[in-house]
């Protein structure tokens, strides 16, 4: 008698293998999404930095010296990115800092244009509440 098909053991082994592969792939997918959220915040901070520099070049004055410009007045934020702290200008009228967050993560990214600051001129991303 010639029976075609798979035995129960063969099907069980295939299901176990698929389960193992899924257990490996799902956490990796979560990490990839987290990195994408951080990349969106970093991209928005780069755009903001460029917008501030362009504004300063065109007007010989930073935008916040006038009406306290908000981030949304200068750039369009990526989907899910929100402003944790508005642009905070120093007394010299040229250095500024801002912090962005994302709705789907507890990470924040910040930028401080002051070269004398600890992380001045560098975009820094960290877990919210760490620093």
Average pLDDT for 111-121? 82
Cβ neighbours for 107, distance < 8 A, ≥ 6 positions apart: 34, 37, 38, 41, 101, 125, 126, 127, 128
Residue holding tokens 């780069």? 46
Range of the domain at 90: 8-127
- Of 14-18, 28-32, 102-106, 125-129, the poorest mean pLDDT is in 125-129
Handedness of CA 121, 123, 128, 131 (dihedral sign): negative
pLDDT of residue 14: 95
| 30 domain residue, yes or no | yes
- For residue 64, pLDDT over 90 is answered with no
- For residue 73, pLDDT over 60 is answered with yes
| 51 domain residue, yes or no | yes
| Distance, CA of 125 to CA of 13 (rounded, Å) | 43
| 3 domain residue, yes or no | no
| Distance, CA of 55 to CA of 2 (rounded, Å) | 80
| 2 domain residue, yes or no | no
| 72 domain residue, yes or no | yes
Number of domains comprising the chain: 1
Q: Name the burial class of residue 71, with classes exposed (0-12), middle (13-18) and buried (19+) by CB atoms within 10 angstroms of its CB.
A: buried
| Distance, CA of 41 to CA of 98 (rounded, Å) | 11
- For residue 6, pLDDT over 80 is answered with yes
């Amino acid at each position: 008698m010639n029976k075609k098909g798979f035995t129960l053991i063969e099907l069980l082994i295939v299901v176990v293998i698929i389960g193992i592969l899924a257990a490996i792939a799902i956490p990796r997918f979560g990490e990839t999404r987290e990195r994408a959220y951080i990349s969106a915040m970093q991209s928005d901070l780069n755009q903001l930095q460029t917008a501030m520099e362009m504004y300063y070049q065109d007007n010989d004055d930073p935008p916040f010296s006038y009406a306290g410009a908000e981030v949304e007045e200068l750039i369009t934020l990526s989907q899910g990115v929100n402003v944790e702290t508005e642009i905070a200008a120093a007394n010299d009228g040229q250095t500024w800092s801002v912090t962005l967050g994302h709705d789907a993560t507890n990470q924040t990214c910040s930028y401080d244009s002051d070269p004398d600051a600890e992380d001045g001129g560098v975009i820094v991303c960290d877990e919210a509440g760490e620093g």
